[in-house]
Amino acid sequence: MRTPTVVIKYGGHAMDKADLSQAFAESLAHLAGTGMRFVVVHGGGPQISAMLQRLQIESRFVDGLRVTDDAAMQAVEMVLCGQVNKAVVSTFARHGIRAAGISGRDGSLLQACVKNPSLGHVGEVNAVDASLPCCLLDAGFVPVVAPVATGPEGQALNINADTAAGALAGALRADYFVLISDVPGVLDAQGQLIPALSRADIIRLRAENVITGGMIPKVEACLNALDAGCARALILDGRAPSSLRRYLDDGEPLGTVVTEAASGPVDG
């Protein structure tokens, strides 16, 4: 029987609030103990913004993506690959999880091109070499990945964590791709949770400006993961304690499931 592989994007309040990060680590330790294999791709937006503020560098976003000039890229790499990555690994280790911190630049894991010159050093993943995380998974580790990629000239590129996690989930043909953030899931125009979305639903809701801002890379990451071979994609509320365990272990209907199939009427 195939061991289920789960790729998680870990960010928002689930990562930066002590009680929620502890609950997440406890859930991960329990689930790993049942035989599931996990890869965690972490964000770090608030920590990056705080660092840029200290350096007196303005934070600007376009469609949920951080505009990243030379100075900002240095700060992004320092915060994500150093401060945040090692803090996540340390938290996991305290809960008995054998975690190994890497970045998308290690082992040519994430290879990317410049997404849009107006965004600066923001990358779009065009190739994934999953050899390194596969080796770590086979050795019983949970790879913890910082979303920084290598560009065509060897330069560091800032990758949206949702996008990086979706690309990795597809490359690993994961059984689950779970986006854990600080939102309940995708909301309709009235602010109500949409439990399931198809590709057609997403296209329509984007056109109607219901899906905007930081939710855009989230739904795109889900669709890209499905396109690349991931079995299931889910946007899950990390503010709810033990939401990961409740979904994977107990089968609770949480968050928004993104599917290729039509999901029925969705109000705009």
pLDDT in tens, 149-176: 999 999 999 999 989 999 999 999 999 9
Containing domain of residue 255, as a range?
6-259
What local confidence, expressed as pLDDT, does residue 207 receive?
Answer: 94
pLDDT in tens, 72-119: 999 999 999 999 999 999 999 999 999 999 999 999 999 999 989 999
pLDDT in tens, 192-245: 999 999 999 999 999 999 999 889 888 998 998 999 889 889 999 888 778 888
Overall number of domains in the chain: 1
Give the single-character DSSP code of 3: P
Question: Other CB atoms closer than 10 Å to residue 94's CB: what's the count?
Answer: 11
CB-based contact 112:126 (threshold 8 Å) = yes
Q: What is the pTM of this model?
A: 0.90
CATH number at residue 225: 3.40.1160.10
Under DSSP, is residue 147 helix (H, G, I), strand (E, B) or coil? Answer: coil
268 in a structural domain: no
Share of the chain above pLDDT 90, in %: 68
Burial 172-211 (b: 16+ CB within 10 A, else e): bebbbbbbbbbbbbbbeeeeeebebbbbebbeebeeeebb
Under DSSP, is residue 157 helix (H, G, I), strand (E, B) or coil? Answer: strand
